[in-house]
């Protein structure tokens, strides 16, 4: 799974070297560039200025050994001049596709256009808009991604175009039919889903393999902000439904790009702390990617054993026990040795010293690092993995209280 960092909030577009270098040094290899940050008023007279400015930014990225994973075409808003606006919007989208191709980037997000004058027929408007982009997208071999939007009703954020998963699926299928090949997909923006409390699992499952990239961003669900995942919290709980997202992406075996958008968090942090923030951001994106692909860890081993005979072990057995049955489990509590827990024999940790070398050990206890050290100190040489039950496919209704 490709992890991509949004430049916004981290990089000064006129002087991008430091920001791009910070991103690279944090371990990211790909960036996401929203070209609206390059576009300036007046450029409509000469789009060459826009393209040149884009090329300068791309070259700085390449100099820092960072590739552009996804572009987003600028979305302009000016209801008064809607007709001319749409034409210009299309020219910008075409230019973005060309730039994307030059940068050897496969995906460009082209947000749908919204007419305030003809709200009843948004599909017809967008069908025409995207259809006109097909020849250039084919020529440049770029995939166009639609993106879910929100709308504004007298200051209140409501669901916008492409927020309905069924309708969006239909749009993409029809556009691909017009193109005669798979030329369109969707960029699922989690922050936008969160603004209107959407069921992200349903969204992901319905759109399925039409989803090519997912934008990960947190927020309080009130304003359109992009925060580092797990930072929009209330009383020790995240305000974004990550469980629903992870379940959905797992269900469709998502393996596309994950764009980490932390624009507001990054901009609010002191530039002095950005390198450290970016390291945390990278780790956070890796964690979410790991959660989505959690089964891949289990598939790696010929056989597995667990460590822990508590709730996490019980949860493992409920969700994965049948598909990836462990040989046994271990626990530090001598009273449990020799007993059976959720169909597994509970053994002493010392037993792990004598298991075959190609068996994996999965720690089912939140004291991961402490237990890992214990096992290494014991002389265990096998691979040790951490299992996690924060985002499981299902849960028991009650927790065991015997521990």
Partner 1 sequence: MMNIYRPIILIGWKGCDFMLQIGVQTKNIVNDSNPEEGFQLMKESGFTCGDFSLNSYLLNTSLYKFELNDFFNKSDRELEDFFTPHKEGAKAAGITINQMHMPYPVYVPNGSKELNDYLLNNVAPKSMRICKFMECPNIVVHGLKLARNLGSEEEEWKYTERFLDSITPLAKEMKITICIENIYSSIGGHIVEGPCSNARKTVERIDRFNDKYGAEILGFCFDTGHANLLGIDFEDFITTLGSRLKVLHIHDNDGIGDLHQLPFTFTKNRENKASTDWDGFIRGLKKIKYNKVLNFETAPVLSSFPEEMKATVLKFIADIGKYFSKKIES
Residue numbers at the binding site for partner 1 (CB under 8 A)? 150, 153-159, 166, 194-199, 201-202, 220-222, 232-235, 237-241, 243-244, 247, 393-398
Q: Choose between 96 and 244: whose C-beta lies nearer to partner 1.
A: 244
Q: Choose between 159 and 293: whose C-beta lies nearer to partner 1.
A: 159
Q: Choose between 5 and 317: whose C-beta lies nearer to partner 1.
A: 317
The CB-of-237 to partner 1 minimum distance in angstroms stands at 3
Q: Write out the chain in H/E/C secondary structure.
A: CEEEEECCCCCECCECHHHHHHHHHCCCCEEEEEHHHCCCCCHHHCHHHHHHHHHHHHHHHHHCCCEEEEEECCCCCCHHHHHHHHHHHHHHHHHHHHHHHHCCCCEEECCCCCCCCCHHHHHHHHHHHHHHHHHHHHHHCCEEEEECCEEEECCEEEECCCCCHHHHHHHHHHHHHHHCCCCEEEEEEHHHHHHCCCCHHHHHHHHHHHEEEEEECECCCCCCCCECCCCCEECCEECCCHHHHHHHHHHCCCCCEEEECCHHHHHHCCHHHHHHHHHHHHHHHHHHHHHHCHHHHHHCCCEEEEECCCHHHHHHHHHCCCCCCCCCEECCCHHHCCCEECCEEEECHHHHHHCCCCEEEEECCCCHHHHHHHHHHHCCCCCEEECCCCCCCCCCCCCCCCC
Q: Choose between 153 and 356: whose C-beta lies nearer to partner 1.
A: 153
The CB-of-172 to partner 1 minimum distance in angstroms stands at 17
Q: How far is CA 207 from CA 148, 189, 201, 279, in A?
A: 11, 13, 10, 31
The CB-of-402 to partner 1 minimum distance in angstroms stands at 17
Q: Choose between 231 and 333: whose C-beta lies nearer to partner 1.
A: 231
The CB-of-315 to partner 1 minimum distance in angstroms stands at 12
Q: Choose between 101 and 115: whose C-beta lies nearer to partner 1.
A: 115
The CB-of-398 to partner 1 minimum distance in angstroms stands at 6
Q: Choose between 96 and 192: whose C-beta lies nearer to partner 1.
A: 192
The CB-of-324 to partner 1 minimum distance in angstroms stands at 17
Q: Choose between 68 and 193: whose C-beta lies nearer to partner 1.
A: 193
The CB-of-321 to partner 1 minimum distance in angstroms stands at 15
Picking from 161, 159, 158, 104, the residue whose alpha carbon sits closest to that of residue 130 is 161
The CB-of-163 to partner 1 minimum distance in angstroms stands at 8
């Amino acid at each position: 799974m490709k992890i991509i960092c949004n430049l916004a909030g981290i990089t000064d577009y006129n002087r991008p070297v430091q920001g791009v270098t910070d991103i690279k040094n944090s371990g990211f290899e790909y960036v996401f560039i929203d070209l609206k940050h390059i576009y300036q008023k007046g450029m409509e007279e000469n789009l060459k200025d826009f393209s040149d400015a884009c090329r300068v930014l791309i070259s700085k990225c390449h100099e820092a050994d960072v590739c552009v994973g996804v572009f987003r075409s600028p979305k302009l808003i000016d209801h008064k001049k809607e007709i001319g606006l749409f034409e210009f919007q299309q020219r910008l989208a075409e230019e973005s596709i060309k730039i994307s191709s030059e940068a050897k980037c496969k995906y460009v997000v082209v947000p749908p256009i919204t007419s305030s004058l003809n709200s009843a027929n948004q599909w017809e408007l967008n069908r025409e808009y995207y259809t006109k982009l097909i020849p250039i997208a084919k020529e440049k071999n770029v995939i166009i991604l639609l993106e879910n939007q929100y709308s504004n009703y007298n200051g209140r954020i409501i669901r916008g175009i492409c927020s309905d998963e069924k309708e969006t699926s239909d749009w993409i299928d029809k556009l691909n039919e017009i193109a005669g090949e798979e030329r369109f997909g969707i960029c699922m923006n989690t922050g936008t889903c969160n603004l209107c409390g959407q069921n992200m699992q349903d969204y992901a499952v319905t759109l399925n393999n039409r989803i090519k990239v997912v934008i990960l961003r947190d927020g309080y669900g009130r304003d359109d902000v992009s925060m580092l995942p797990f930072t929009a919290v209330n009383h020790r709980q995240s305000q974004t439904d990550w469980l629903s997202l992870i379940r959905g992406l797992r269900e469709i075996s998502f393996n596309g790009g994950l764009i980490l958008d932390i624009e507001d968090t990054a901009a609010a942090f002191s530039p002095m702390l950005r390198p450290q923030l970016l390291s945390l951001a990278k780790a956070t994106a890796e964690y979410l990617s790991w959660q989505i692909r959690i089964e891949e860890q289990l598939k790696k081993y010929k056989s597995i054993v667990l460590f822990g005979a508590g709730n996490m072990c019980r949860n493992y057995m409920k969700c994965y026990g049948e598909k990836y049955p462990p040989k046994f489990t271990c626990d530090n509590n001598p009273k449990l040795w020799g007993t059976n827990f959720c169909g597994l024999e509970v053994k002493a940790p010392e037993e792990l010293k004598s298991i075959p070398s190609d068996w994996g050990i999965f720690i089912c206890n939140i004291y991961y690092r402490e237990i890992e050290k214990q096992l290494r100190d014991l002389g265990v040489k096998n691979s040790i993995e951490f299992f996690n039950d924060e985002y499981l496919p299902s849960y028991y209704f009650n927790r065991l209280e015997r521990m």
